[in-house]
């Protein structure tokens, strides 16, 4: 006999804006996520109180060829405009398919809310990027509401030729007020400044705060980055694997006005922190596979400036457990 748990829909395929296919992931405690097949684009991630954790522009266009403004666009096979392809590559504005038979993952988990998507090159794509590949993305919502994205990209070419690419999970975090936000875990690192022709600098100071446009690629960062939202008393924790770099982007007022699918004041409520591989591109020989993973979680934080240094707590906790903090008590002494 079926019990209530059998009726609960962890994964549901339905129609989203403009009739586009989307997959809704739900967990029993109430958290949820939405993934559009257009771009394999995560457009929503809600905690178990129903609070939206990702920023999506009210002017976002859910229609090809424009990528959806907000959520988590995937930049592949080219990050930014450095290369022959369109800005951030084409994966974010292609229609992906549901992958019905993904190769198994080495680790067995009990997660039930996940979807596997796949992108293969169309004839048109092969003209602009002449390589054979399979790009598999698994999006998982954990029982505690954590959001995991795992990309597996394989060179399926039979011609013996390697290919190279750069990559980013271009996550738009929803923040209460950008002036009240700080990012920890990137201090003292080297970065390439996209606003200064990718010139290399070293970050000074204790943490990153925002008072003007920022567009930096931090290179070889630690695997954990914390984004503290003082007003919301919430900290996002981003963990990454296979993705050495991290982009921090906020367009601020002037640039925001020049972006047609972004509201004039939207920059105040968004911050992009992007797990990425940019400085050194990834090269795959035929038969080789690359894996890049990001895991997002939140912890409530009653953080006051100077009271607590989350990067240090993250570090200490991570080195003790080999993992990162997963609940408020891990942050609060």
CB 173 within 8 A of CB 45: no
Q: Is residue 154 helix, strand or coil?
A: strand
For ligand BG6, the closer of residues 215 and 295 by Cβ is 215
Which residues make up the interface to ligand BG6 (CB under 6 A)?
Answer: 80, 87-88, 170, 194, 215, 247, 249, 272, 274
For ligand BG6, the closer of residues 54 and 272 by Cβ is 272
User: Rounded CA gap, 65 and 46, in Å?
Assistant: 27
For ligand BG6, the closer of residues 198 and 291 by Cβ is 198
Q: How far is the CB of 171 from ligand BG6 (least distance, A)?
A: 10
Q: Which of 114, 140, 143, 115 is nearest to 48 (CA)?
A: 143
CB 225 within 8 A of CB 185: yes
User: Rounded CA gap, 329 and 322, in Å?
Assistant: 17
Give Cα 22 distance to the centre of its chain. 17
Q: How far is the CB of 125 from ligand BG6 (least distance, A)?
A: 18
Q: How far is the CB of 83 from ligand BG6 (least distance, A)?
A: 13
For ligand BG6, the closer of residues 31 and 194 by Cβ is 194
User: Rounded CA gap, 11 and 26, in Å?
Assistant: 6
For ligand BG6, the closer of residues 87 and 109 by Cβ is 87
Q: How far is the CB of 133 from ligand BG6 (least distance, A)?
A: 22
Q: Which residues form the catalytic set?
A: 170, 274
User: Rounded CA gap, 284 and 77, in Å?
Assistant: 12
User: Rounded CA gap, 102 and 222, in Å?
Assistant: 30
Q: How far is the CB of 255 from ligand BG6 (least distance, A)?
A: 7
User: Rounded CA gap, 1 and 280, in Å?
Assistant: 55
């Amino acid at each position: 006999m079926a019990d209530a748990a059998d009726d609960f829909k962890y994964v549901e395929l339905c129609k989203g804006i403009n009739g586009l296919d989307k997959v809704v992931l739900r967990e029993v405690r109430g958290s949820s996520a939405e993934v559009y097949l257009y771009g394999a684009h995560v457009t929503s991630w809600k905690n178990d109180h129903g609070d939206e954790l990702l920023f999506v522009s009210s002017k976002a266009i859910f229609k090809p060829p424009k990528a959806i403004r907000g959520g988590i666009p995937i930049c592949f096979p080219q990050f930014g405009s450095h290369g022959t392809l369109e800005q951030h590559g084409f994966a974010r504005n292609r229609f992906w398919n549901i992958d019905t038979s993904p190769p198994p993952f080495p680790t067995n988990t009990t997660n039930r809310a996940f979807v596997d998507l796949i992108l293969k090159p169309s004839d048109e794509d092969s003209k602009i990027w002449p390589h054979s590949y399979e790009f598999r993305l698994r999006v998982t919502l954990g029982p505690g509401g954590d959001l995991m994205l795992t990309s597996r990209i394989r060179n399926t070419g039979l011609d013996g030729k390697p290919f190279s690419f750069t990559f980013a999970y271009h996550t738009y975090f929803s923040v209460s007020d950008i002036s009240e936000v700080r990012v920890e875990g990137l201090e003292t690192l080297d970065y390439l400044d996209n606003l200064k022709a990718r010139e290399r600098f070293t970050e000074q100071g204790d943490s990153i705060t925002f008072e003007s446009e920022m567009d930096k690629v931090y290179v070889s960062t630690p695997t954990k980055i914390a984004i503290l939202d003082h007003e919301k008393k919430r900290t996002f924790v981003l963990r990454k694997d296979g993705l050495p770099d991290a982009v921090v982007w906020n367009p601020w007022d002037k640039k925001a006005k020049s972006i047609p699918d972004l509201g004039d004041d939207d920059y105040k409520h968004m911050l992009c922190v992007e797990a990425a591989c940019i400085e050194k591109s990834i090269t795959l020989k035929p038969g080789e596979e690359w894996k890049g993973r990001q895991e997002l979680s939140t912890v409530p934080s009653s953080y006051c400036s100077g009271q607590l240094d989350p990067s240090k707590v993250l570090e200490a906790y991570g080195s003790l457990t080999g993992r990162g903090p997963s609940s408020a008590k891990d942050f609060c002494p």
